[in-house]
Amino acid sequence: MTSLFRYNLLLAVGWCALLGELSVPNLVVGFLVGFLALSISGPMFRGTRGYFTSFLRYGRLALYFAVEFFVSSMLVTWDVLTPKHKATPAIVAIPLDLEHPLQITTLANLVSLTPGTLSLDVSPDRKTLYVHAMFVRDPEETRRAIKNGLERLVKEAMR
């Protein structure tokens, strides 16, 4: 799997060389073109299915986070700019299904990066994440949203 990632990076740099300009957009397009080329030629490589499924899982996590980030940014911006504040802050305890410390850290960081939420602490037994959220109407709804959204996708991507 690591060698396919290296090939993909090599194809991305080759794409930039072909275009004559090394830039982030060219690298991203080159990486996607390389990914497509490698997925088409995938049968030539043995045991490469994991690379493609892992890449798609991380892509789904990134897309979900981008949407959550945008929606949360709009909610926080609206609440700050309007005279009537609708914030109902609360601290919510979220039981974790994640076991690996890297998965827990990734979830906590993604929660903290989302506007209007902040990871406060993880219990010593690593079974509960404490989150301060700005808009909590129902703690169970907030808990369910994080568990069914970010936690599930982090668990899928990082297995």
Residue 120 lies in a domain: yes
Residue 106 lies in a domain: yes
pTM over 0.75: yes
Is the Cβ–Cβ distance between 105 and 112 less than 8 Å? no
- The pLDDT score that the predictor gives to residue 140 is 95
Residue 131 to residue 92: CA distance in whole angstroms: 5
Residues 28 and 72 grouped into a single domain: no
* pLDDT for residue 50 is more than 70: yes
Residue 66 to residue 28: CA distance in whole angstroms: 17
Is the Cβ–Cβ distance between 123 and 90 less than 8 Å? no
Residue 54 lies in a domain: no
What's the average model confidence in pLDDT over 10-38?
91
Residue 52 lies in a domain: no
Boundaries of domain holding 74: 61-157
Residue 56 lies in a domain: no
Residues 9 and 34 grouped into a single domain: yes
Residues 100 and 148 grouped into a single domain: yes
Give per-residue burial for 73-84: e unless 16+ CB within 10 Å, then b: eebbeeeeeeee
Residues 18 and 84 grouped into a single domain: no
Q: How many angstroms separate the Cα of 89 from the Cα of each of 4, 12, 61, 78, 122?
A: 45, 45, 26, 15, 19
- The pLDDT score that the predictor gives to residue 102 is 95
Residues 77 and 36 grouped into a single domain: no
Residue 20 lies in a domain: yes
Residues 100 and 126 grouped into a single domain: yes
| Distance linking the first and last C-alpha atoms of the chain | 14
- The pLDDT score that the predictor gives to residue 39 is 81
Q: DSSP state, 88?
A: B
Of the two residues 1 and 26, the one the predictor is more confident about is 26
Residues 30 and 68 grouped into a single domain: no
Residues 39 and 68 grouped into a single domain: no
Residue whose entry in the numeric block shows the structure tokens 């609206």: 78
Residues 36 and 68 grouped into a single domain: no
Residue type, 100: H
Residues 73 and 133 grouped into a single domain: yes
Split into its structural domains, the chain has a count of: 2
Residues 31 and 71 grouped into a single domain: no
- The pLDDT score that the predictor gives to residue 52 is 79
pLDDT, tens digit (0-9, with 9 covering 90-100), for 95-135:
999 989 999 999 999 999 999 999 999 999 999 999 999 99
Residue 27 lies in a domain: yes
What's the average model confidence in pLDDT over 7-12?
90
Helices (H), 41-138: 49-81, 101-113
